[in-house]
Amino acid sequence: MAESTGVKSKIESLREWVVENKLRTVGGLWASGVIGSLAYNWSQPGKASVKIIHARLHAQALTLAALAGAAVVEYYEHKAGGKTSADRYAKFLPLDTSYSHKD
């Protein structure tokens, strides 16, 4: 039983990272899709230009699926009362809001 909680915490931490880094996840899936599809298509007979086009199409389909998945995650995160955009990006905003402008 203790092992299952350790695995669950790893899966939960992975899910949290994906929620915080949606665009990196989609970009990584796109890059791995292009590389994987090129590797597969290159082993098949045919013209190089057709292989490149097929690799791009496969990666594009994978990216669209990943974007749809990110949208679903964002929807359920918002519906479940997760962090709002203001809460999520507050760490990037300065704490002192009184700015002094130099002329």
Residue-level pLDDT, tens digit, the chain, 103 residues: 445 556 678 877 877 887 788 788 878 888 888 888 888 888 888 898 988 888 888 888 888 888 888 788 778 777 777 665 556 556 666 666 565 555 5
Amino acid identity of 13?
A: S
Q: Hunting for tokens 């970009």 — which residue is that?
A: 27
pLDDT at 44: 84
- Candidates 25, 35, 27, 41; CA nearest to 73 is 25
pLDDT at 85: 57
Give whole-number Cα distances, 9 to 2, 35, 72, 84, in Å: 11, 30, 22, 23
In the chain, where the domains are located? 10-38+54-92
- Candidates 58, 30, 32, 31; CA nearest to 44 is 58
